[in-house]
Structures are given as C-alpha cells and as structure tokens.
Amino acid sequence: MQVRSKINLPVILVLSFFLLFTQQAFALGKVGHKVICQVAFDHLSPSTQNKVNILLKELPKQDQKLINKYNYKSASSAISFADTCTWADAIKKDKSYDKYKKWHYVNVARNQTKVTPQTCQKNCVTSAVTLHKKQLKELPTSWKKLQAMMFLGHWLGDIHQPMHVNFASDMGGNRTKISIEHAKCNNMHWLWDECLLYPKSKTNNAALFTRLHNNLSNQWEKSPITTWQKDSVYTWATESLTITRLPSVLYCTIDEKNYCIATTKGITKLPSNYQKNHKIILENRMLQASARLANVLEQSL
C-alpha cells in the first residue's frame, strides 16, 4: 500500500495499458496450452513421438531453465513436449523475440465473417502457422527446427481461442470490460483465456491439468477428428471469429451492415450460467486444436 500511494495517475495509466497489452498474448493460460499439446502428443504414432523427443534434446539449457521458471518448476526439471508449448509466452520478456508478439493473434475488420489468406500476409497467427509448419518439415534436426515445433504447439492453441481472432480497436477483447460471479477476470479476453476453464483466483494447476486432459481424452474417440484435420488454418481462424460474433458470447451485436458492434461502453454483466455454457465451447476448441496439432506434427515430422 505504501508503494502504491507514491505512484501518480499518469504512471497508473501507463501500467494499466501495459497490462492490457501483454494480456492479449497469453491464450488459454499455461495449463490450457499444455493440455492441448499433451493430448496431441498422446495421439501421435510411436515413431512421431520418438522424433519429437529426439528434437527436444536440442533445447538449450537456458531455455530449459526459462520454461521451468515460467511454469514454477525447478530449473533442472525435464522438459516434455507439453511444457515447450508455453515457451512462446515465456520468451515475451526477451527483446530478441519482440517480432513474435504480434504472431499470437490475427486482427480482422469488424464486418468480416471469414478469414482468408488476404486477411493477413505476415506477422499474425495464420502466417505464423504456415511458416513454422514449413520450417518443421524442411529443416534438419536443429535448435531452429525445435523452435518451429514449439511455436506451432503454441500457435495451435492461440488460433483456437476466439478472442485471438478479433479486432485491433478492442485489443482482442481486452478493452471489453465484464463482470461475472465467482471469477477474477474483468475483460472478455482474459475470461476466454482463463476464467472459463478455472474461474477461481486460486487453482490447483496439477488437478486442473488432469481434469482437462481427461475430459479431452475421453472426447477424442467420440469426435470427428479426421474431418477436423482436413481443414486449413484459415478455417480454424474463421471458426474462432464465428464464435466471437455469437450473440450468446455477449461480446458484440451485429448491425444491419454486418458490423460487430460493442454491446456496451461500460461493463457487461454476464449471466450466472455463462461460464458453464461457454466452457463447453472452449474445451471443444481445445480438442480441435489437439487434433489438428497431432496431424501437423505427423505430416511435418
């Protein structure tokens, strides 16, 4: 409290803006990303699993420590493929990786209903997936090839989070203020990143990982996995955009010109059943991400 009293208003505004900006790059939280990648890994052929594990040996010690620090683990802990899917967020404070900050999402026009190759040519999540798929397939075993695999694991999570296919003017839902019972999240992006999966401030990450992993694994055999795997990166992004524009999401209303207009300039109070209803949607997106990631790894490795 004493520190806070010494901060003037301009500084508070700057810090608030910084927090809003950085929040956009953290899709699904650490647990969500790791679950997506673990389920994908579980469904790889033994040969491809072995190739993944061989490639993980290219991880430098400093990046092993970075990933473990980011995940609150001891520096020397062994790194799994699931762990590496948080690397793209863990490197955000390293200025040498600054160019990748925009690669976590893709911005669209407010009257856009479909994501195409023309939507973004570079420096966005659709172009990132395309580039790193190519690198993973063509590069020899190396640190750069491992980077491509780690990026892909993360990008597949990002592109399936609806608020990562969104509007620049709203910073992907970060500026849409919300209130919802029993949840810490106060904006739409944060809600879809974390609070739909785990609304409480204090969460047992190990228990959450196990629950989500079991949920997705149990749904695998019941889902149209091969159909999902045939779709392109632009279909994946369009699916997220479609969810963003759903009336039940309460993110925007569609006007007569098909523009997605913010529902309110103040704080949107979400109904008590919002988390329950939309958690189903988000977990399905995670399963789709796992299925498509598994296919990408099989094809590329």
- H or E element that contains 42: helix 29-42
Exposed/middle/buried for residue 175 (C-beta within 10 Å: 0-12, 13-18, 19+): middle
Confidence of residue 266 (pLDDT cuts 50, 70, 90): confident
The reported pTM is: 0.89
Q: Euclidean distance between the first and final Cα of the chain, in Å?
A: 53
263 vs 9, residue with greater confidence: 263
119 vs 198, residue with greater confidence: 119
The pLDDT tens digits for 148-190 are 999 999 999 999 999 999 999 889 999 999 999 878 899 999 9
Per-residue DSSP letter, 187:
B
The gap from C-alpha 244 to its chain's centroid, in whole angstroms, comes to 14
Confidence of residue 203 (pLDDT cuts 50, 70, 90): low
Both tokens assigned to 122 = 């570079």
Angle at 37 between CA 29 and CA 198, to 5 degrees: 30
**Angle between helices 274-300 and 233-244 in degrees, nearest 10:** 170
The pLDDT tens digits for 84-122 are 999 999 999 999 999 999 999 999 999 999 999 999 999
The residue among 210, 237, 224 whose CA lies nearest residue 130 is 237
69 CB contacts (<8 Å, ≥6 apart)?
A: 75, 90
